[in-house]
Amino acid sequence: MADPMRIRANMTGDKVEVKVLMSHEMETGLRKDAQGKIIPAHFIRNVTVTHGGKTVLSAQWGTSVSRNPFLHFRFKGGKPGDKVTISWADNKGDKRTDEATIAGG
Amino acid sequence: MDAKRREVLKTGGGLLALAAASGIIKPGDALAQEWNKAAFETKSVAETIKALGGSGSTLSSAIEITAPDIAENGAVVPIAVESKLPKTQAIAILIEKNPSTLSAEFEIPAGTDPFVSTRVKMGETSNVYALVIADGKYFHAVKEIKVTIGGCGG
With bands split at pLDDT 50, 70 and 90, how would you rate the model's confidence at A2?
confident
Topology at the third CATH level for domain A6-101:
Immunoglobulin-like (2.60.40)
The pLDDT confidence band at residue A69, using thresholds 50, 70 and 90, is very high
Q: Residue A51: is its pLDDT beyond 90?
A: yes
Instruction: Assign 3-class secondary structure to B101-135.
Output: CEEEEEECCCCECCEEEEEECCCCCEEEEEEEEEC
* B149–chain A Cβ distance below 8 A for any pair: no
Instruction: Flag if B32 and A57 touch (Cβ within 8 Å).
Output: no
For residue range A9-27, what is the model confidence (pLDDT) as tens digits? 999 999 999 999 999 999 9
- Strands (DSSP E) contained in B9-62 are 58-59
CA distance, residue A86 to nearest chain B CA (Å): 12
Q: What is the percentage of chain B residues whose pLDDT exceeds 90?
A: 73
pLDDT value for B2: 53
What is the least distance, in Å, from the CA of B131 to any CA of chain A? 14
Arithmetic mean of pLDDT, B121-143 = 97
Q: Provide, for chain A, the percentages of residues in helix, strand and coil under a 3-state DSSP scheme, each rounded to the nearest 5.
A: 0, 55, 45
Name the band, by pLDDT with cuts 50, 70 and 90, for residue B154: very low
Query: What's the pLDDT band for A49 if we cut at 50, 70, 90?
Result: very high
Q: Does A85 touch chain B (CB under 8 A)?
A: no
**C-alpha neighbours within 13 Å on the C-beta side of residue B118:** 26
Domains of chain A by residue range: 6-101
Q: Contact B71/B122 with Cβ under 8 angstroms?
A: yes
Q: How does pLDDT run across B87-110, given as a tens digit for each residue?
A: 999 999 999 999 999 999 999 999
Pairing of strands B102-107, B88-95: antiparallel
pLDDT score of B31:
43
Calculate mean pLDDT across residues B60-77: 96
| Average pLDDT for B102-130 | 97
ipTM confidence score: 0.95
Give the pLDDT confidence of B9-20 residue by residue, as tens digits: 454 444 444 444
**Is A70 within 8 Å of B98 when comparing Cβ atoms?**
no
Determine contact: B112 vs chain A, CB below 8 A.
Answer: yes
Nearest CA in chain A to B108: A57
- At residue B3, the pLDDT reads 53
Of A70, A71, A75, the CB nearest to B112: A75
Which residue type, as a one-letter code, is found at position A66? S
Indicate the pLDDT class of residue A90, thresholds 50, 70 and 90.
very high
Average pLDDT of span A42-63:
97
Residue B149 has pLDDT above 80, yes or no: no
Amino acid at B65: I
A67 to B32: CB separation less than 8 angstroms, yes or no: no
